[in-house]
Amino acid sequence: MLLRIEGRDLPGMAGVRVAVQVKDKPKELLDPQRGDAEAVAWELPVEPFTTKDGVRTLRGRHVQTGIGGRFVYLSWGEAGDDGAGFVMFRRSKLMLEAIPDGVLEAAVESGVLHARVHLTDAKGQPISARLVPPKVEWSAG
């Protein structure tokens, strides 16, 4: 199954990048994107499964596990124009437990889960928060 994360409403900061972090490896990032882009997107493979507690969720190379459940880290950092030299200064958690049950099951059937995320906070800075609705919109297909 594919998780497609689409970021919008970026903070408009040219020297800043945002990327998806590999599980438990803060220095391993998937496709750093410019903080002044109109929109950004990542596609990552995930696997649906049911926990011992009977919770339907996702796992994969980019899925973290911690207090509050499973999530994907969006890491913010400063970097050169080519994305090299990424120095992280904050992260956001895209909370997978916030996916509505019906949406997750429809995504399992279709093979694609979409997360549309607002990436700027109320002060115009890169968002640093637990990302749950309404900051993220989940859909299948």
Q: Are 35 and 12 in contact (CB under 8 A)?
A: yes
**Structural domain tally of the chain?**
1
Average pLDDT value for the chain: 93
Per-residue pLDDT tens for 99-139?
A: 998 999 999 999 999 999 999 999 999 999 999 999 999 99
Token pair belonging to 113: 């889960």
pLDDT for residue 80: 67
What's the whole-model pTM score? 0.93
Q: What is the dihedral of CA 51, 57, 59, 63, to 10 degrees?
A: -120
DSSP type of residue 122:
T
pLDDT tens digit sequence for 38-97? 999 999 999 999 988 888 899 999 999 988 889 999 999 998 666 568 899 999 999 999
Residue 78 · residue 66 · CB < 8 Å: no
Domain span holding position 64: 2-140
